[in-house]
Amino acid sequence: MKISVIGTGYVGLVSGACLAEMGNHVLCLDVDPRKIEILRAGSIPIYEPGLEAMVQRNVAAGRLSFTTDIQKSVEYGLIQFIAVGTPPDEDGSADLSHVVTAARTIGRYMNARKVVVDKSTVPVGTAEKVSAAIAEELSQRGVKIPYCVVSNPEFLKEGAAVEDFMRPDRIVVGADDAFGIETMRALYAPFQRNHDKLILMDVKSAELTKYAANAMLATRISFMNELALLAERLGADIERVRQGIGSDPRIGYQFLYPGCGYGGSCFPKDVQALQRTATENGLDLRILEAVETVNERQKAVLLDKIDAHFGKNLDGKCFALWGLAFKPNTDDMREAPARILIEGLLQRGATLRAFDPVAMEEARHIFGQRAGLSFVESAEKAVEGADALVVVTEWQVFRSPDFEQMALSLRARVVFDGRNLYEPHLVRAAGLTYHGIGRL
Ligand code: UDX
């Protein structure tokens, strides 16, 4: 099949590469010539395990190519994926201007039947807007060409996006048109493996499914974070509670981990956008509001613990920071709890020695040359001569440090574990003071 992907950001590039891997011919478009140059040179502008090799392989095989030529890309594919960004507006709603521009472009240049697929996370009702924008362009040109608009939300986790795309647990397709349904069935047939993963529905339900999934996951996290606060007050251990409830198959273990708050490009933005959609429709969704408020508070939980331990004046204190990215296996720092922590510690007069396996360049870009903040080349180097260690991201490499050595390196011998990576008694056995999230 011939496929065009408009927008070569995270979602567009992963989708394009994976569809090419399945034998399709894919042309990826981006308006940013620098990005296209990088991709043509065989590199990728983001960090995502397995993606670079997949891009190179498929470019070499002639199945994947990149362009900045909008007309060429519209004419190329029967399927036109729209995978452009939907950044939050000031009021929290999703900014659809890039999506609508992409739709207009399709209408302006299409020369044959097209199946237009919304891949970006867009509010309920966007497919109608996309359809109307295409119709308007076609009528201005005075031509009649059949097309339909399909919603096909992505459920890719950063750090596991290639795997998630190649082995999906479900493929949600919202389509109200027979040709659109058949085309999507054919496109995803190779991804089905042993059982049918395609869940067909109407367009609006598909649009809502994406937000509902992310909001549900964010709700679980905020709920656990709130219970962790209570556990601390009660002298209970949230990790035992997590195991105790996760073993109920109706609850399950996933996304029950308390920590220093969720971040990233999806949860914060999508929870807000869904709230906004509800308000626009005359509904005040209380749970969603609480999910966001609890998360904001949770992002400050490490600072609260540091204040309680050292007091608010941290002049002359040095902190080792392990992890900057909003989660492991990514260099993404959007809405990362580390950002709040760094700002808070610097404001209190502390100096910081930060290490992250891949996100340090991104952090340098965000913070520039800030007095008091330095980046070091290893986790061990960060700890040397610091007063305390703060763990912010749950990278595997941070999971089993040498606590004896750490006790020698840290002047104040304190560990603040924002992701509950360690068993408190093991850390304490080395002579360190341990503060986790909701732990005894
Ligand atoms: C998420 C969804 O998982 C994915 O399906 C959707 O397509 C996009 O949004 P992503 O943003 O990559 O993916 O991150 P995810 O792995 O879901 O983690 C989000 C945040 O929640 C991270 O900051 C993580 O550290 C935090 N988290 C996750 C917890 O605090 N506790 C948990 O139990 C799980």
Mean pLDDT of the chain: 96
Over range 136-158, report the average pLDDT.
Answer: 97
* Cβ of 263 below 6 Å from ligand 1: yes
The finding on whether 428 has its CB within 6 A of some atom of ligand 1 is no
Q: Where in the chain is the domain with CATH 1.10.1040.10?
A: 211-297
Q: What is the mean pLDDT of residues 420-426?
A: 97
Query: Mutate which of 216, 217, 222 to test ligand 1's pocket (most atoms within 8 Å of Cβ)?
Result: 217
Please give the distance, rounded to the nearest whole angstrom, from the Cα atom of residue 262 to the centre of ligand 1.
7
| 35 marked ligand binding residue | yes
pLDDT class of 221 with cuts at 50, 70, 90 = very high
Tell me what the mean pLDDT of segment 180-208 comes to: 93
**CATH classification for the domain delimited by 2-201, as one of 3.40.50.9100, 3.40.50.2300, 3.40.50.720, 3.10.450.50:** 3.40.50.720
Question: Residue 87: pLDDT band by 50, 70, 90 thresholds?
Answer: confident
Q: Is the CB of 214 under 6 A from ligand 1?
A: yes
**Using CA atoms, how far apart are residues 258 and 246, in angstroms rounded to an integer?**
13
Asked whether 338 and 393 are in contact (CB, 8 A), the reply is yes
Per-residue confidence (pLDDT) for residue 1, from 0 to 100: 96
Q: Quote the pLDDT of residue 259.
A: 98
Q: What is the pLDDT of residues 275-312, one digit of tens each?
A: 999 999 999 999 999 999 999 999 999 999 999 999 99
pLDDT band at 129 (very low <50, low <70, confident <90, very high): very high
Q: What is the pLDDT of residue 93?
A: 83
pLDDT(330) > 80: yes
CATH 3.40.50.720, the chain: domain bounds: 2-201, 299-435
Q: Is 210 annotated as a binding residue?
A: yes
Cα of 156 from ligand 1 centre, angstroms: 10
Alpha carbon separation from 153 to 124, 199, 210, 269 (Å, rounded): 12, 11, 6, 15
Which residue bears the tokens 């059982």? 195
Residue whose entry in the numeric block shows the structure tokens 């760094």: 342
Residue nearest to atom 7 of ligand 1 (CA): 155
Ligand 1 centroid distance, CA of 226 (Å)? 17
**Mean per-residue pLDDT, 122-138:** 96
What is the rounded distance in angstroms from the CA atom of residue 438 to the CA atom of residue 371? 33
pLDDT of res. 428: 98
> How much is the ipTM here?
0.93
pLDDT band for position 72 (50/70/90)? very high
Average pLDDT of the segment spanning 233-260? 98
Contact 385, 363 (CB under 8 A): no
Buried b (16+ CB within 10 A) or exposed e, 287-319: ebeebbebbeebbbbbbebbeeebeeebeebbb
Whole-number pLDDT of residue 154 = 95
Residue 81 has pLDDT above 90, yes or no: yes
Strand partners, 353: 320, 374
pLDDT tens digit sequence for 340-374: 999 999 999 999 999 999 999 999 999 999 999 99
Per-residue pLDDT for 192 more than 90?
A: no
Q: How far is the CA of 267 from the centre of ligand 1 (A)?
A: 7
Using left for φ > 0, alpha for ψ between -120 and 50, and beta otherwise, residue 431 falls in: left
Nearest atom, ligand 1, residue 121 CA: 7
For the domain spanning 211-297, the CATH number is 1.10.1040.10
pLDDT for the residue 264:
95
Q: Is 165 annotated as a binding residue?
A: no
The predicted structure's pLDDT at residue 297: 97
Give the predicted TM-score (pTM) of the model.
0.93
Question: Would you place residue 193 in the very low, low, confident or very high pLDDT band (cuts 50, 70, 90)?
Answer: confident
Q: Which pLDDT band holds residue 5 (cuts at 50, 70, 90)?
A: very high
The residues carrying an active-site annotation are: 266
| pLDDT, mean of residues 305-329 | 97
Q: What is the mean pLDDT of residues 242-261?
A: 98
Predicted confidence (pLDDT) at residue 92 exceeds the cutoff of 90: no
- The mean per-residue pLDDT over the stretch 150-160 comes to 94
Q: Is 355 in the pocket of ligand 1 (CB under 6 A)?
A: no
Q: What is the pLDDT of residue 354?
A: 98
Element of type H or E holding 323: none
What value does the mean pLDDT take over residues 217-238?
Answer: 98
CATH of segment(s) 299-435: 3.40.50.720
**What is the rounded CA–CA span in Å between residue 167 and residue 397?**
26
Q: Is any ligand 1 atom within 6 A of the Cβ of residue 262?
A: yes
Atom 13 of ligand 1: nearest residue by CA position: 157
* pLDDT of 194 strictly over 80: no
For the ranges 88-97, 128-137, 209-218, 313-322, the lowest mean pLDDT is seen at 88-97
Overall residue count recorded for the chain in this entry: 440
Confidence at 40, pLDDT banded by 50, 70, 90: very high
